[in-house]
Amino acid sequence: MNLRALNLPLATTLLCAACNSMPRATLPPAANAPARLLFVGNSFTYYNGGLENHVRQLAASTRPPRALETDRGTKGGATLKILQGQEWLHEKIRNGRYDLVILQEDIPELTEHDVAPFFEQVRLFDGEIRKSGGKTALFMAWPYERLNWVTLERIDQAHRAIGKELALPVAPVGIAFRHALRARPGLAMLGPDREHETIHGSYLAANVIYAVVFGTTPEGATYRPPGVSAEEAAFLQGVAWATVIEWQKPR
């Protein structure tokens, strides 16, 4: 994956964030402080113990702490189109009383080599989620070398477009990965397969999602999984917040 290739303006901001000098502003929360979250996606969502667990533990370690109930509906290698065909997932959405459902698409896996199926599936899932009383958010993932027909820039554009169309918050995790690598090239976001996250990548993803869902910085949260040092956690929290602030600026 060539996350460094996308030319997005954030180098200076990120360095400030890494030093904890970003202003502690707040953003509008995605779903008015949701308490029950469902994460829908593939291995990018369930890798390293599951983002639902990292986000829950991260939220519990903030001040004041947030008590979340989290769950996941995932299938290895699945796109949202494949997940759309899973009746167990529809039952979970209909009956789970979730405040917020976070959808993760794996755009490189789309056999059509087109983002249109992503748009279609988000519309379908969002309609069902709204009918069940919940709200939808999007977890933007990343490109990778095995299926290299799409760039991070195109993934970013696709999420911006459908997010704007349906008024959905987007957690720009792939963008945060790119910025973390720019600021600290030695801290890998992806593992040996260059596709799935390292524990640092999963931790950064959890912090980005937290920042978008709750509209506030994750900086100062004390949770960090084994393998992530206190200094690395502080750096990644800063990157997450700086990325979300920058990404949500009007364009």
pLDDT for 210-228, tens place per residue?
999 999 999 999 999 999 9
Q: How far apart are CA 227 and CA 215, in angstroms?
A: 27
pLDDT value of position 251: 83
What is this structure's pTM? 0.90
- Give the mean pLDDT of the chain: 91
Sheet holding 69-74, edge to edge: 69-74, 36-41, 100-104, 135-140, 170-172
Average pLDDT over residues 16-41: 66
Average pLDDT over residues 110-138: 97
Average pLDDT over residues 85-89: 98
pLDDT value of position 1: 46
pLDDT digits (tens, 9 = 90+) for 136-151: 999 999 999 999 999 9
Domains and CATH numbers, the chain: 3-18+34-247 (3.40.50.1110)
Cβ neighbours for 23, distance < 8 A, ≥ 6 positions apart: none
